Amino acid sequence: MLSSKVILNSLLDNDFYKFTMQHAVTKLFPKAKARYEFINRGQHAFPSGFAQVLRESINNMGALQLSKVEKEYLAQTCPYLDPTYLDFLQGYRYDPDEVSIEQNGPDLSVKIAGYWYRTILWEVPIMSLISELFYKMNNLVGANDEEIINTAKSKIEHYAQLGVTIAEFGTRRRHSYHTHKLVVEALKAYGGQSFIGTSNVHLAMQYQTKPIGTHAHEWFMFHAAKYGFKMANRLGLEHWAQVYRGDLGIALSDTYTTKVFFSSFDKMFAKLFDGVRHDSGDPLVFADQTISHYQSKGIDPKSKTIIFSDSLNYEKVARISNYCQDKIGMSFGIGTNFTNDVNLPPMNIVLKMTEAHPDDAQWTPVVKLSDVRGKYTGDPKMIALSKEILGIKD
C-alpha cells in the first residue's frame, strides 16, 4: 500500500495565483490565520487505506524547497515579486502538521489550519495528490501516453483554428503529474500562437511558457472576514493594486456574484485592471454584463479582456468566441478538460477556505456565493447573512 504514495518534485508544482496571493499576504496580512476544508462534491468513495497513503505523500512535501535555479526563474519572469518575498520562499517549507486527515469508511476528511501566508500553498497540491491517488489506488487505468498527447494536440489545433488564445489551468484535478506534463508538452509543441501559458509554475518553467494567474476567491473571502461583505470586493481590489501597481490585472468577479462585484468595480478599477475573469454562471450573460459595464464607464470594451475559465470544452469555447467576437477581448483557461481527459470520469472535488482569523479579530466563517447557487460554499447561516447584507435574492 505504501508504494502507492505520490511524490511531488517541486515547490513550484502549484498554481501561479497561490504565489501571487502569498506574496500579497506576506506584505499586508502577515499575522492572519486561515482554515481550509476538503469538499467531496462528487461523493467519490475512497478506498481503504487512502488517508494513510495521502498522509505519507503530504509528509514528503515537507522536504520540498525552492532551488536556486527556480528562484532565479521567478526573479526574471515575475519582476513584480519582491526580492524579500523570493528570499522568504527560498526558506519556506511545508509543515505537514498544518494538515489533518481522517477517513471513515469511504469518506475522506482533510483540514488545513495555520497562518494564512503559510497555509495558502496547500490547496492545489493536496487536491492534485487526492486526484492522482484516487485513480492509482482504485487501479483505474486511463489512456496511454500516445493517446494523451494526441488528444491534447487535437484540442489545441482546433482551438487555434478558432483564433483564440488558450491557457492550461488543470493542476488541481489532473489525472496525474505524468499526464499533466504530457499535456503541457503537447500544447507547447502544437499550440503555436494559440497556447499562451499554464497556471502551473513548475511546468511553465520547464516548458518555457508563461505562468498565468492573479488571485482566487479566497482573497475576497478573507477581505469579507476582515472588513465586511460590503467592502470585500472594493478593498480586495485596492489592496491588489497597492501590491502590484497595475501588474497582474485580471480581477475575479464572482465571489459574491457578478452584480455585486460590478457595483464596486468603478471607473478607476475598470481603467486600472486589464479585465475580469469569469468562473460561474452563463458566460454569454456575463459577457453582456461586462460589456455594458465598461460602456457605462466610457471605456471601450475591446480594450479590455474577459478570461473565461468555467468548465470549458471546445463547444463552449466556440460558442463564447463566436458571441464575443469584435465586442470585447477574450482568452480561455481550460483545466480538467486538458489534464484529466483520459477515458475516466474526472473527480468533482474542491478544497476551500472555510474560516479566516484577521489579526485584529476572531475566527470568522467565510463564504463564496458565485453566480450559480449550486456552487455556494460555506456555513449556511453565513451565506444567508451575506445575501441579506448584499441584497442578493434568488
Q: State yes or no: pLDDT of 101 exceeds 50.
A: yes
- What are 40-86's pLDDT values in tens digits? 999 999 999 999 999 999 999 999 999 999 999 999 999 999 999 99
pLDDT digits (tens, 9 = 90+) for 285-324: 999 999 999 999 999 999 999 999 999 999 999 999 999 9
Q: Are 337 and 147 in contact (CB under 8 A)?
A: no
Radius of gyration of the chain (CA): 20
- 377: DSSP letter: B
Statement: residue 118 has pLDDT above 60? yes
Instruction: Please name which of 46, 58, 62, 45 lies closest in space to residue 5, comparing C-alpha atoms.
Output: 58
> What pTM was estimated for this model as a whole?
0.97
May I ask the CATH class of domain 2-141+346-390? alpha beta
Chain center to CA of 383: 22
Gap between the Cα atoms of 109 and 210, Å rounded: 34
Taking CA atoms, 172 is separated from 281, 334, 346, 359, in Å, by 21, 12, 11, 29
Query: If you average pLDDT over every residue of the chain, what do you get?
Result: 97
pLDDT at 264 over 80: yes
Q: 151-185: per-residue pLDDT in tens?
A: 999 999 999 999 999 999 999 999 999 999 999 99
Query: For 35-44, what is each residue's pLDDT tens digit?
Result: 999 999 999 9
Q: Give the C-alpha separation, 324 to 307, whole Å.
A: 12
**Confidence bin at 394 (pLDDT 50/70/90):** confident
Q: Answer whether residue 273 shows pLDDT above 60.
A: yes
The answer to whether the 2-141+346-390 and 145-339 domains have the same CATH topology is yes
Residue-range domain boundaries for the chain = 2-141+346-390, 145-339
What is the reported pLDDT for 4?
78
Say whether pLDDT at 1 is over 60: no
**Alpha-carbon gap, residue 196 to 212, rounded angstroms:** 9
Kindly report, residue by residue over 202-258, the tens digit of the pLDDT.
999 999 999 999 999 999 999 999 999 999 999 999 999 999 999 999 999 999 999
Q: Label the pairing between strands 329-334 and 166-168.
A: parallel
Burial of 326 (0-12, 13-18, 19+ CB in 10 A): exposed
In terms of CATH, what superfamily is 145-339? nicotinate phosphoribosyltransferase (3.20.140.10)
pLDDT of residue 2: 43
